[in-house]
Amino acid sequence: INTAGGASWVSFHHGGGVGMGYSLHAGMVIVADGSEDARKRIERVLHNDPAMGVIRHADAGYDIAKNTSAEFDLDL
């Protein structure tokens, strides 16, 4: 999702303090060079990244995530 949104690069790594192979994490970077294109990419990525967390929790049935989704007009 971050790549599609316009992140400059996405890294995928494992471990996360629980041991190699037990937990997978992704990180992303967005180059902010002052251009209009960069502004749009920053806006998309910094919206999509936390929105996916809300969507995942809403899908799992958490009421607070469902309410947050409605509050921020996330189309589930």
What is the residue-level pLDDT of the chain in tens, covering all 76 positions? 888 999 999 998 876 667 677 788 888 999 999 999 999 999 999 999 899 999 999 999 999 999 999 999 888 7
From the number of C-beta atoms within 10 Å of its C-beta (0-12, 13-18, 19+), residue 45 rates as buried
Residue 76 lies in a domain: no
Q: In total, how many domains does the chain have?
A: 1
What the block records as the tokens of 63 is 């009421």
Structural tokens at position 64? 């607070």
pTM to 2 decimal places: 0.73
Sign of CA dihedral 34, 35, 36, 37: negative
State the amino acid at position 76 in one-letter form.
L
Domain extent at residue 54: 2-71
Residue 37 domain flag: yes
